[in-house]
């Protein structure tokens, strides 16, 4: 039953799926590049470069954030230990058994 949710997709499938848009974009750029004027091509290239940088920025920010506050960093370890300590203090989780025992005066 535990094997029902195992991902059996090979790693190369994900890598090729991520590389496909890059390859198609490069092919389109080579085909359209000769048809455009030099000045237009330069502006278009700069615009696409800025757009590509903006698309990669969330991944870079996420990576830096994970390095600073991730589970293996000093702050991440402190946060995890604090969560473990706080689990038993004032836990809002009450089940039906606890409520019934409180009503009978056992707890």
Separation of alpha carbons 104 and 1, rounded Å = 40
pLDDT band at 93; cut points 50, 70, 90: low
Separation of alpha carbons 105 and 43, rounded Å = 77
Provide the residue range defining the domain that includes 91: 70-107
| Residue 14 and residue 51 in one domain | yes
| Residue 77 and residue 45 in one domain | no
Task: Report the domain count for the chain.
Answer: 2
Is the pLDDT higher at 1 or at 90? Answer: 90
63 is a domain residue: no
pLDDT of 1 strictly over 60: no
What sign does the CA torsion over 32, 36, 42, 43 have? negative
pLDDT score at 45? 80
pTM: 0.46
| Residue 82 and residue 35 in one domain | no
Express as a percent the part of the chain with pLDDT over 90. Answer: 0
């Amino acid at each position: 039953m535990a094997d029902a949710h195992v991902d059996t997709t090979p790693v190369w499938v994900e890598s090729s799926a991520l590389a496909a848009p890059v390859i198609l974009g490069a092919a389109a750029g080579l085909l359209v590049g000769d048809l455009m004027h030099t000045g237009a091509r330069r502006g278009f290239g700069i615009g696409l470069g800025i757009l590509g940088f903006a698309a990669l920025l969330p991944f870079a920010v996420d990576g830096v954030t994970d390095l600073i506050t991730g589970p293996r960093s000093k702050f991440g370890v402190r946060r995890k230990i604090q969560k473990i300590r706080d689990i038993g203090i004032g836990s809002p989780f009450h089940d039906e058994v606890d409520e019934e025992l409180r009503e009978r005066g056992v707890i």
